[in-house]
């Protein structure tokens, strides 16, 4: 179980690193939010699953599972609200003709 936990935590950190790399390299706010969605859902879920595998089935691991559920609800809500505000503030999506900023 310890090996599984270490593997899941390492996988989560790796996914977060990929996501942050995308957030630093992508050209506009919509693609950056797309890249950060990996860390907000899959990376956090992998690390929390690693904690659950570390502890086994206890009350604490139930709390980790509930925190994963909470993160899966609030992060898409926040990103949706921010990007809707960006669309209403006339931030234009990147197209191939424009230069990356």
Partner 1 sequence: MSDVFIAAGVATAALMAGLLLRILRGPTAFDRLVAFNGINTQAILLLLLIGHHAERPELFIDIAYGYAALSLVGSITAAKYLKRTDAVG
Residues that bind partner 1 (CB under 8 A): 2, 6, 9-10, 12-13, 16-17, 19-21, 23-24, 29, 32-33, 36, 39-40, 43-44, 47-48, 51, 54-55, 60, 63-64, 67, 70-71, 74-75, 77-79, 81-86, 88-89, 91, 101
32 C-beta neighbours (distance < 10 Å), count: 17
What is the rounded distance in angstroms from the CA atom of residue 43 to the CA atom of residue 20? Answer: 11
By the 8 A CB rule, do 45 and 3 touch?
no
What is the rounded distance in angstroms from the CA atom of residue 90 to the CA atom of residue 73? Answer: 27
CB nearer partner 1, residue 3 or residue 97: 3
DSSP annotation of 95 reads -
Helix (H) or strand (E) holding 83: helix 59-88
């Amino acid at each position: 179980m310890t090996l599984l936990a270490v593997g899941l935590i390492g996988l989560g950190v790796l996914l977060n690193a990929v996501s942050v790399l995308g957030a630093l390299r992508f050209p506009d706010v919509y693609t950056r939010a797309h890249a950060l969605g990996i860390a907000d859902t899959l990376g956090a879920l992998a690390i929390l699953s690693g904690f659950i595998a570390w502890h086994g089935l206890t009350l604490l691991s139930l709390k980790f599972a509930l925190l994963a559920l909470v993160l899966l609800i609030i992060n898409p809500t926040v990103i949706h609200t921010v990007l809707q505000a960006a669309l209403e503030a006339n931030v234009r999506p990147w197209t191939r003709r424009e230069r990356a900023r």
